[in-house]
Amino acid sequence: MQKITSKCSRYVDGQKMCIYCNNRCVKNGSSYNKQRYLCKSCKRSFVDSYNYNACQVNTDQRIKEYLKEGCGIRSISRLLKVSVTTVLKRILLLAKKASRPMIAMGKEYELDELCTYVRYRENQIWVAYAIRKDTKEVIDFNIGRRTNNTLRPITNTLILSNAKKVYTDKLKHYGTLLPSKIHSTKKKGTNHIERKNLTLRTHLKRLSRRTICFSKSTTFLSACLRIYFWG
């Protein structure tokens, strides 16, 4: 029976094991006087130890965890001891991997928007998003000015999903974008999403009301939201 002799070194009966899929590896040249290994199964190569912390296996997971706990880009860079550029690149890659959940048909939703800033305080940007009323799951969001063009992609998604009811505040734009038979502005209809707004401002530093940690672009704001909602 095979027995792993050391969890850190990942050897089984003297045979080097892959750090990604735990299958057997073979020697594959060297990098900076360090022995490289190639996994015959997943075809990935690696060395025993890396000088640069961004090469660690759990770096992406730690970036997501720190991002969801209110850390800014530079804070994550200091905590992980990697460059700011690396953190920015990883966030964009993680955002691309995050996929929106399947939208159920005939459900009730809450739709609202919250204000933030990009680059400087005078440049207001609105984050509009919708959640399922029963599961509190975010099903879609969009970023832009507080106009019909920003809200329309979300309302169209809800209409195509045959939404049973959509609860919003009394912003006049919703009355022109949503059919009256499914649109509701009743009191306390948006309690869940209003509480979600508070959670977002608490967990994402860039959305806090009194902070200088604004997003430098809508691209990174959208990427951070995708990771928080669906990552």
25 with 43, same domain? yes
Q: How far is it, in rounded angstroms, from Cα 173 to Cα 36?
A: 59
Q: Give the tokens for residue 182.
A: 């499914």
Q: Would you say residue 32 lies in a domain?
A: yes
- Domains in the chain, number: 3
Answer with the one of 27, 49, 71 that is the final residue of a domain. Answer: 49
Q: Give the tokens for residue 197.
A: 């707004």
pLDDT at 5 over 60: no
219 with 119, same domain? yes
> The domain containing residue 187 runs over which residues?
108-230
pLDDT at 121 over 70: yes
Answer with the one of 33, 49, 65 that is the final residue of a domain. Answer: 49
Q: Would you say residue 126 lies in a domain?
A: yes
Mean pLDDT of all residues in 171-193: 94
9 with 29, same domain? yes
116 with 152, same domain? yes
What's the pLDDT score for residue 214?
80
pTM for this prediction: 0.77
- Sequence-separated (6 or more) residues with CB below 8 Å from residue 22: 10
What's the pLDDT score for residue 51?
67
Residue 137's CATH number: 3.30.420.10
58 with 153, same domain? no
- Sequence-separated (6 or more) residues with CB below 8 Å from residue 212: none
Strand partners, 165: 108
Give pLDDT tens digits for 27-60.
Answer: 888 877 788 899 988 988 888 776 677 777 789 9
180 with 92, same domain? no
